[in-house]
Structure 1
Amino acid sequence: MLKGIDQRLSADIVHALMLMGHGDDLVICDVNHPAATIAKETTHGRLIAMPGCDIPTAARAILTLMPLDTFVPAPVTRMQVVGNPGAQMPVFAAMQAVCDAAEGRAVTMLAVERFAFYETAKRSFCIIRTADSGPYGCFILKKGVVDLPPLA
């Protein structure tokens, strides 16, 4: 264990977050998402598990270390409900609240069709699958810049 790092964040998760650069995408998903299949096509190339967490808890932990991108209009993407694109699921509002709180601002979330979401997920850096039972717990978070002091 390390000081200041949420205990839900495994070494694999912290390592992936450290490898990611500005503009890289991270998928956080529920257990219904075809995460293992899609993860093979990501930059990281393998699935990262985050057992024991629902989507909001996992995102809250991840966003303690990873800022969202401020250079794009919508740094978070979610999957639309199939057959009812305007439908709202409880996890959508929960994730909105987590992202807004983590960033200290209103974060724009883009909704995309299921298969478009899968295609975008394949181009992500990595996929983190939670224990959330869903449905529609599928989000893509775009990493922002971490403002660090110069090395002395």
Structure 2
Amino acid sequence: MLKGIPSILSPELLKVLMEMGHGDELIIADGNFPAASHANRLLRCDGHGVPELLEAVLSLYPLDTYSEQPVALMAVVPGDPVETPIWKTYEDLISKHTVPAIEYVERFAFYERAKKAYAIVATSEKALYANVILRKGVI
């Protein structure tokens, strides 16, 4: 155990966060995301939701201040009537660390970006369109 490290962050996830450099991207994916087939590095966080992991990661992970939009969400497919209240939760969590400048990425473009991400964290999040990309900054 270490002081000040959220217990939800596994040793493997902490290692990946440390390995990442400026501009590298981390995906925190919901339970429906095809994480295994898209990941260069897959980290499983089954039993956890995206908001709790996002909060823990952001406590250690600097967002890229050189990027206009260091956070990206999967955009709702046109015509899909789904509601996305989880996005407000994300905005609230992100605003604790920086001004929430969020990009909305079309579904298949999001998948292509995920294939290039440093790592994907697979969760059990049930909310739809709950996937988030975080671009790492500098300290």
TM category (shorter chain) comes to over 0.9
The whole-number CA distance in structure 1 between the counterparts of 2:118 and 2:127 is 22
Q: Which runs of 4+ in 1 moved over 6 A?
A: none
- Aligned equivalents of 2:32 and 2:114: distance in 1? 14
> Residue 59 of structure 1 corresponds to which residue in structure 2?
54
Give the gaps of 5 or more residues in structure 2.
none
Kindly indicate whether the alpha-carbon contact (under 8 Å) linking 1:80 and 1:86 is maintained by their aligned counterparts in 2. Answer: no
| Offset from partner CA, 1:81-129 (integer Å, 9 cap, x none) | 112489751111111111111x1x3221000110000001111100001
Gaps of at least 5 residues in structure 1 are: 40-44, 147-152
Which residue of 42, 46, 49 corresponds with 2:44?
Answer: 49
Given that 1:47 and 1:129 are in contact with CA atoms closer than 8 Å, whether structure 2 keeps it comes out as: yes
Structure with higher Rg: it is 1
Check 1:73–1:86 CA distance in 2 against 1; reply closer, same or farther (3 A cut): farther
C-alpha RMSD of the superposition: 1.6
Matches within 5 A, 1:24-35: 24-35=24-35
TM-score normalised per structure 1: 0.86
Q: Which residue of 2 aligns with 1:17?
A: 17
Per the TM alignment, residue 50 of structure 1 is displaced from its structure 2 partner at its CA by: 1.4
**Percent of pairs identical after alignment?**
41
SS in structure 1 opposite 2:33?
coil
Q: Specify the alignment match of 1:3 in structure 2.
A: 3
Give the whole-Å Cα distance in 2 for the aligned partners of 1:137 and 1:33: 9
**Is 1:72 matched with 2:57?**
no
How far off its partner does 1:5 sit? 0.5
Is the contact between residue 85 and residue 113 of structure 1 (CA under 8 Å) also seen in structure 2? no
